[in-house]
Structure 1
Amino acid sequence: MHGPSGQTGSVWEQGVAAPEIHPPLAGSHRTESVVVGAGIVGLTAALRLLELGRPVIVLEGLRAGRQVSGRSSAKITTQHRLIYRHLIDTVGTERAAAYAEANSCGAAHIRRWIVELGIGCDLEDRSAYTYTQDPERLVDLEAEVTAAGMLGLAAEVTRSVPLPFATAGALRFPGQAQFNPVAYLDGLAQAVTARGGRICENSRVLGVDEAARWRATTAGGAVEADNIVIATNMTIKTPVGMAKRTQPRCHGVMAFRIADASAMDGMFITAEEPTYSFRTGHDQSGPILLALGPHFGTGHDGDVAARFIALEKWVRTHLPVGEALWRWCNEDYDTADRIPLVGEPDPGKAPGFHIATGFNAWGISNGTAAGLMIADSICGRSSPWRELYDPARPLPKDFHRDGESQSLVDSPEAIAPGVGGVIVHGDDKIALRRDDDGTLHALSARCTHKGCIVTWNNAERTWDCPCHGSIFAADGSVIHGPARKPLEPAGFDG
């Protein structure tokens, strides 16, 4: 059986000019604010602080703008599927209005910075559509139009949907947009350094401590600051635990060559489950179609490659695409109420400690709003979204569900070249990976966050934690937290 089509990697990095290299942190430094994570939240917060005349240092574990934010579908939209009727019914009109306002401001701010900073990121105006093929779902779309109107958002239900297959209708939000997220984040990073901010790449934070000030420590140095912003997808440190207040999930993404983007003039997502989302775009060679498949729990699937094969089949059944170019997984965290967790979790006992997580796969506009709110808070400015995003607000205690490794095998012989598996070895479990040439490599299978047993992702060739969503490279190094340390070496004689 053939594996998934396309090269592994994000299409958004292809054809983008080589980014500025930011040297790793070296030595001890002092500043007013340190931001951990150079995605859309971290870079937005840093640039906003600098605009307000405040110094900042940004620490990034890998490369700026090339992790979760830079691997997204990059829709600049306030249409988050069918959310506003849900929010009005569950958290009330006031908070639903705050959510609409926050995301409207986030989207508008992205546009403003693109113009003011001259960021070339393929910004294109598009309508956003949530479509259905089930006539009985039209009542849900009409309810969302009513809810959106109550909150000041323009929306309509249309039976004319610009897709090459039959639909019953769609919820349409006009005046939305799409862009290349990597190019945009590169632009923010350039603006941060141009205004005197400092970005340190390959500077994974290994510890956060409090003395007279907050102190973030990396392998090469440390930064002391009055304020710390943890903007790392899932928090690597927080006064109030977030891992049990969220649920990690992944989805597969594929980019296909297309001949003509005009047949799909918009950004689209299904109203039904399982969810499919797609939009057009461009790489250096011409138009592409980007498609996202149904989400699944991080580390909960032992055959992620099959998900890409299924996604390609769905795309080719519905849309006129050519060659499959690129494929990748992206991760996010859900919350029980579909609202992110942003701000100071415990301002009384841990003043100046800010977090942002749980974006429910809508992190472009929410993440921008979050970064702006955090920066304004540091500067003593009020925000109408503080109560909405309150990271310590009451949430159901039974929302989070740990998982178990899906990669257990009976023996090393069951692990083929290019594959990983987990075996029981005495009182412990070992993560074994066999190179394409047959060489076997052994690591502890215990996630360094809380000790859950990892799952081998056979599409990305990563070790994924099924409990709290940490992702490790094949060699055990950390890609995503909350883990801060790599998988430990394991003695194994085969």
Structure 2
Amino acid sequence: MQSWDAVWMVNLPGNRGSCWVATAGRTGYPLLDSSIHAETVVVGGGIVGLTTALRLREAGRSVILVEALEIGKQVTGRSTAKITTQHALIYRHLIDTCGVPTARSYAEANSAGAELIKDWIKEHAIACDLERKNAYTYATTAEGHGEIIAEAEAARQVGLQAEVLDRAPLPFETAGALCFADQAQFNPAQYLVGLARAVANRGGRIFEKSRAILIGEASRWRVVTAHGTVHAENVVVATNMTVKSPVGMANRTQPRCHTAMAFRVGDPSVIDGMFIGIDDPTHSIRTGRDGDGPLLVVLGPKFNTGQDGNVAARFVDLEEWSRKNLPVGDVAWGWCNEDYDTADRVPYVGEPDPENAPGFHIATGFNAWGISNGTAAGMMIADVIRGGSSPWHNLYNPTRPYPKDFHKNGDSQSIVQSTNDIRAGEAGVIQRGDEKIAVRRDADGSLHAVSATCTHKGCTVTWNNADCTWDCPCHGSIFASDGTVIHGPARQPLIPVDL
């Protein structure tokens, strides 16, 4: 069988990347190349941004959305795409740390988000492989079984239906499972393409390859890209981590990644449902498909962005676990995805400073559960812009207290003594005087260099040897191998350097 090692070593075309993105199709929205105005400008074409834009257009409000790359190609399009209110052991945690009202509000927000997704898929005829599936949280230890029982009780306290099972319907031994019936899964990239089409059909304007390089305030908010500017009364920054905020978000969150692999599978019905384990190392499992047929998608445990010097080894471990426990065939796809955790496991959404920066909205910190939470976030932001209120304002309050020691900066994991230590196909960070330089060596031996200093806050980047990116170990900015920004909080590329 073809292994991840084989895919990595020979660099097979098309296999590194998200299976969802590969089947989403192209969009082709224009580049922003002029100065224009709307009531609201949305920065970011993920699930938060597009949900906000469509809700505003449904109310007849003027909206412009700018996306740095292409719709569906970033964080949402690389997620596990489970449409569910079951978020591992969230409800017992929220009841114990925040109280029943907060836990109930979280359940209600995510229930509303999940229902809106399914309603919009039907209303706008979005072809995105929507499937009704049960969602299972499973344990492999006796201690985990006890946590499953406690979570079931907590879920029922907040009005959710939850059933405890003696074992999960998986082809390996488990010590129990919690089932949320009648949840769903889909292709998130196809869904975003469909949402964008709905926004455009309703008169919203979308611009791709239009990265926001400046967000400022004059007589109104303005978002500046390389070739154009949008002026608006409201700005919504929906960029995974906010690229600007009147109240700092970077230290309130912790950037984290996980590895994902999609395998060929002969009989997809062998795995029926969506699964997430609660015992370390955790794994998430669901079915899917690409243009060549059914897939089994498996995720590995999370790790802090830029704080692992050998991400490729995580794919080797994930493949070994998958082959040991699941009926998988050849590796079809492999990718990393990033999200931001919060200390209380609840996102930050809303206006960070409504008195001094009215009309400035953010959404970040989705703790790897951004499908339903992200939709609820977009609903909430749109409702506030439309002049209303939201029952989830206190839940998602972006200025709520947080422990000051939650965020953990890291150091570059790619420091080498000289370019002689960098083999063909690899990369490292060297020091020249006071300057740190990020250097990669092509297969033919040629060297390419950019500054290793992240343009956000000046941390030294780490080479991700699986995705071939430069990742910031402090605040999670990710740069392509040539230094261009994939996503922020950085807005400027790594500076080219002559060796």
The TM-score with structure 1 as length reference comes to 0.98
Are positions 1:232 and 2:239 aligned together? Answer: yes
The whole-number CA distance in structure 2 between the counterparts of 1:4 and 1:365 is 36
Label 1:396 to 1:294 Cα distance change in 2 as closer, same or farther (>3 A). same
Kindly state the Cα deviation for residue 92 of structure 1 after the two structures are TM-superposed.
Answer: 0.7
Are positions 1:15 and 2:23 aligned together? Answer: yes
Question: Aligned to 1:8, what secondary structure does the other structure show?
Answer: coil
Kindly state the Cα deviation for residue 13 of structure 1 after the two structures are TM-superposed.
Answer: 2.4
Question: Aligned to 2:41, what secondary structure does the other structure show?
Answer: strand
Extract unaligned runs of 5+ from structure 2. 9-14
Question: Aligned to 1:348, what secondary structure does the other structure show?
Answer: coil
Kindly state the Cα deviation for residue 180 of structure 1 after the two structures are TM-superposed.
Answer: 0.5
* 1:427 counterpart residue number: 434
Are positions 1:3 and 2:39 aligned together? Answer: no
Are positions 1:117 and 2:119 aligned together? Answer: no
Question: Aligned to 2:5, what secondary structure does the other structure show?
Answer: coil
Whether the 8 Å CA contact 1:162–1:263 is kept in 2: the answer is no
Structure 1 range deviating more: 134-143 or 458-467 = 134-143
Whether the 8 Å CA contact 1:4–1:308 is kept in 2: the answer is no
Kindly state the Cα deviation for residue 22 of structure 1 after the two structures are TM-superposed.
Answer: 0.6
Question: Aligned to 1:273, what secondary structure does the other structure show?
Answer: coil
Kindly state the Cα deviation for residue 160 of structure 1 after the two structures are TM-superposed.
Answer: 4.3
Superposed counterparts of 1:79-478, under 5 Å: 79-478=86-485
The whole-number CA distance in structure 2 between the counterparts of 1:226 and 1:233 is 22
Question: Aligned to 1:356, what secondary structure does the other structure show?
Answer: strand
Are positions 1:33 and 2:40 aligned together? Answer: yes
Kindly state the Cα deviation for residue 337 of structure 1 after the two structures are TM-superposed.
Answer: 0.3
The whole-number CA distance in structure 1 between the counterparts of 2:211 and 2:305 is 22
The whole-number CA distance in structure 2 between the counterparts of 1:2 and 1:48 is 41
Once the two structures are superposed, what CA deviation does each residue of 1:158-208 show, in whole Å capped at 9, x if it has no partner?
124211111111011101000000111110010010011111100000001
List structure 1 segments (4+ residues) > 6 angstroms apart after TM superposition. none
The whole-number CA distance in structure 2 between the counterparts of 1:397 and 1:2 is 39
The whole-number CA distance in structure 2 between the counterparts of 1:345 and 1:187 is 30
Residue 8 of structure 1 aligns to which amino acid in structure 2? R
Kindly state the Cα deviation for residue 4 of structure 1 after the two structures are TM-superposed.
Answer: 6.0
The whole-number CA distance in structure 2 between the counterparts of 1:136 and 1:67 is 37
Structure 1 range deviating more: 123-132 or 280-289 = 280-289
Question: Aligned to 1:126, what secondary structure does the other structure show?
Answer: strand
**Aligned pairs, number:** 491
The whole-number CA distance in structure 1 between the counterparts of 2:295 and 2:488 is 31
* 2:12 counterpart residue number: none
The whole-number CA distance in structure 2 between the counterparts of 1:436 and 1:24 is 34
Question: Aligned to 1:3, what secondary structure does the other structure show?
Answer: helix
Whether the 8 Å CA contact 1:235–1:482 is kept in 2: the answer is yes
The whole-number CA distance in structure 2 between the counterparts of 1:251 and 1:37 is 21
Once the two structures are superposed, what CA deviation does each residue of 1:18-56 show, in whole Å capped at 9, x if it has no partner?
332011101101110000000000000000000011010
Kindly state the Cα deviation for residue 274 of structure 1 after the two structures are TM-superposed.
Answer: 1.7
Residue 57 of structure 1 aligns to which amino acid in structure 2? I
Question: Aligned to 1:225, what secondary structure does the other structure show?
Answer: strand
The whole-number CA distance in structure 2 between the counterparts of 1:3 and 1:446 is 30
Whether the 8 Å CA contact 1:65–1:182 is kept in 2: the answer is yes
Once the two structures are superposed, what CA deviation does each residue of 1:429-486 show, in whole Å capped at 9, x if it has no partner?
1111111211111111000000000000011110000000000000000001000000
The whole-number CA distance in structure 2 between the counterparts of 1:89 and 1:344 is 27
The whole-number CA distance in structure 2 between the counterparts of 1:20 and 1:464 is 27
Question: Aligned to 2:263, what secondary structure does the other structure show?
Answer: strand
The TM-score with structure 2 as length reference comes to 0.97
Whether the 8 Å CA contact 2:242–2:489 is kept in 1: the answer is yes
Kindly state the Cα deviation for residue 2 of structure 1 after the two structures are TM-superposed.
Answer: 7.9
Question: Aligned to 2:408, what secondary structure does the other structure show?
Answer: coil
Residue 467 of structure 1 aligns to which amino acid in structure 2? C
The whole-number CA distance in structure 2 between the counterparts of 1:15 and 1:108 is 24
The whole-number CA distance in structure 1 between the counterparts of 2:62 and 2:404 is 38
The whole-number CA distance in structure 1 between the counterparts of 2:329 and 2:383 is 46
Label 1:150 to 1:351 Cα distance change in 2 as closer, same or farther (>3 A). same
The whole-number CA distance in structure 2 between the counterparts of 1:136 and 1:403 is 32
Kindly state the Cα deviation for residue 15 of structure 1 after the two structures are TM-superposed.
Answer: 3.4
Whether the 8 Å CA contact 1:343–1:390 is kept in 2: the answer is yes
Extract unaligned runs of 5+ from structure 1. none
The whole-number CA distance in structure 1 between the counterparts of 2:238 and 2:444 is 39
Residue 400 of structure 1 aligns to which amino acid in structure 2? H
The whole-number CA distance in structure 1 between the counterparts of 2:249 and 2:391 is 23
Whether the 8 Å CA contact 2:165–2:178 is kept in 1: the answer is yes
Are positions 1:480 and 2:482 aligned together? Answer: no
Residue 72 of structure 2 aligns to which amino acid in structure 1? G
Once the two structures are superposed, what CA deviation does each residue of 1:40-97 show, in whole Å capped at 9, x if it has no partner?
0000000000001101000100001110001100000000000101100101111110
Whether the 8 Å CA contact 1:72–1:181 is kept in 2: the answer is yes
Q: 2:54 aligns with which of 47, 54, 71?
A: 47
Structure 1 range deviating more: 138-147 or 41-50 = 138-147
Once the two structures are superposed, what CA deviation does each residue of 1:388-416 show, in whole Å capped at 9, x if it has no partner?
00001111111001000000001101111
* 2:79 counterpart residue number: 72
Residue 327 of structure 1 aligns to which amino acid in structure 2? G
The whole-number CA distance in structure 2 between the counterparts of 1:150 and 1:408 is 50
The whole-number CA distance in structure 1 between the counterparts of 2:164 and 2:265 is 28
Whether the 8 Å CA contact 1:4–1:305 is kept in 2: the answer is no
Whether the 8 Å CA contact 2:449–2:496 is kept in 1: the answer is yes
